[in-house]
Amino acid sequence: MKLKKWLAAPLVLLLVILTGCQAVGGFDVNQGLLGTLKVKPQESSSTLSFHVEPAGSASAEDREIIDFINSVSISVYEAKIQSEDVVSAKGAFHYQDVSLPFAMSMDQSGLAFELEGSKKPYYIGLNQAEALEGLPEGFDPYAYKDKINDLVLEAAGLFIEHSPNPKDISVAKVTEEVNGEQVDLTKLSVQLTGEELVQLVKPMLQSLAQDEEGLKRLIGQGLDLAAEIAAAFGEEESLKEGLAGFGDSREEILNNLYTEAKDALDQVVSQYDAGVSLMYTQAPELRTVLGPNTVLKTDMYFDANKDLRKDRTELTVALPGMEDLPITSFTLRSESELWNVNGAVTADKVDTSGGVINVEEDGLTPGDTLRNFDSSSKVYDILKNDLQLTHKEIVIDPEDSYYDLVIKKGTTMIALRDIAAELDAELDWDAAAKQITVTDDITEAKFVIKKGMKQIKAGDRTIDLPQPVFAAEDGTLYVPLRQAATALGAEVTVQDGMLVIERD
């Protein structure tokens, strides 16, 4: 697609931020929105679904893919936030008539994830030792987590405070069901188009540029945090040198940094209209993406404590008409309910006592992945039959030196390490016996390869070799390509002068 994938991300962020700075119907919109950015102990449920609108030019194949995307949704039946670092979720992925239950949990050590039918959960470690490598001994960056969060919230609050209200914003008192309980709530409804978004950015920046107190507070908070971290590193002098151009005292530095920030904002504001015009000239497709047909609709429900308890959001992004773009728009819809906010919440950790599959360290092969699922499970069936996980097709150009090929009396020989790598087989060298044990990735069947062999005995099969296995001067063992592939469950054919290795 010609449309750049990154266009939607800043759009969504700004659409959410620019939902109003002034009180509406007596409700403090700022406080409510800022509260949604704070991580609090809570329980929740949510759904996320997708809809893609096909273009008239979409082919039958395009429409098949679009129908599949439109059938995809994610349900989280039970999510628990115990703290910023400890969370869990149970839910299911859905597509067409298939539902795949999952569970995940995360703490400071790592993230564990399992699908129904898996024998061991998958695990992604958050290696703190590696993250701390190179830092001064005893330095704990997690000690500054709260202050960093406070700085982020201060910045977000400043932007929200200066964001003008969109035209379509309202507040109403309602009673809604949340987790089976009727709750009195304040409903904040917002509708914002991409076209209006472009119009709202400039007044937001203008207002922000005039807030000397707010900008200085944010800059000062950043300076204090930088000074504290520099002291922990023993880098006070380096920080002082870096800020030398802004003055000697904290007050002088703060004033000069504020002046630079304000000048930068003023410059952006003065050039904003010309910049937007240039953006549309250079990327005319943005007129559609940031046009009236890109729409955010959201209903957010807050309780008496201004804690978010429920929300319904729909974001539609219009896409420009392009010859190779088979869709005209995509829509994301989400709904969620939240309860036990700021209560006692204990995350449900995925059971890792029986071992895990470390995604980063275990080097998963197709066989490894399949063996982690019960053969009668739906995931196994999808991996094996729908996604054809075990299927391999390798095309070798005999004239290309990428693969180590040798012709012996009309027989194409290949380095054992090459054919093994392509078919994910494991090789174990036995120095005493001077032989290699080959383990098939899919079946885990084993056979031996050694210099001078004229047959491969793989399970109950005996495969005769047209040329014996031989070793090059560097010790590399070469095996007949066709027969080695057969031993590993694959076939070799010649197509248009190319050697094609294929495994189902």
Model confidence pLDDT, tens digit, residues 178-235: 999 999 999 999 999 999 999 999 999 999 999 999 999 999 999 999 998 888 878 8
> Residue 362's pLDDT is what?
62
Closest CA to 47 of 94, 116, 103, 106: 94
pLDDT for residue 7: 37
Question: Do 165 and 312 reside in the same domain of the chain?
Answer: yes
Tokens 């694959």: give the residue. 490
Same domain as 180, residue 92:
yes
Q: Indicate whether 494 belongs to any domain.
A: yes
Q: Average pLDDT, stretch 285-314?
A: 93
- Please spell the DSSP secondary structure of 335-396, one letter per residue: EEEEESTTS---------TT--EETTTS---HHHHHHTB-TTSHHHHIIIIIS-TT-EEEEE
d(CA 108, CA 347): 13
Residue 122: exposure state from Cβ atoms within 10 A (0-12, 13-18, ≥19): buried
Q: Is 349 contained in some domain?
A: no
- The verdict on residue 283 lying in a domain is yes
The residue segments making up the domain with residue 368 are 362-386
pLDDT at 135: 59
- Based on the domain organization, do 97 and 171 belong to the same domain? yes
pLDDT at 287: 94
- The answer to whether residues 380 and 433 belong to one domain is no
Q: Tell me, yes or no, whether 373 and 439 share the same domain.
A: no
Please name every residue paired with 118 in a beta bridge, in sequence order, or none if there are none: 373
Q: Does 1 fall in a domain? A: no
- Separation of alpha carbons 488 and 360, rounded Å: 26
Q: For residues 350 and 30, is the Cβ–Cβ distance under 8 A?
A: no
251 in helix, strand or coil? helix
Which residue, chain included where needed, has tokens 């008539």?
97
Q: Which of 304, 324, 339 is the last residue of a domain?
A: 339
Nearest of 334, 306, 347, 447 to residue 79 by alpha carbon? 347
Q: Decide if 20 is inside a domain.
A: yes
- What percent of the chain is modeled with pLDDT above 70? 90
d(CA 424, CA 443): 11
138 with 191, same domain: the answer is yes
Angstrom CA distances, 55 to 21, 32, 64, 330, 500, stand at 38, 39, 13, 11, 38
Please give the average per-residue pLDDT across 47-63, as a whole number. 93
pLDDT, tens digit (0-9, with 9 covering 90-100), for 108-145: 888 999 999 999 999 998 755 555 555 566 566 677 87
404 and 379 in one domain?
no
For the chain, what is the domain count? 3
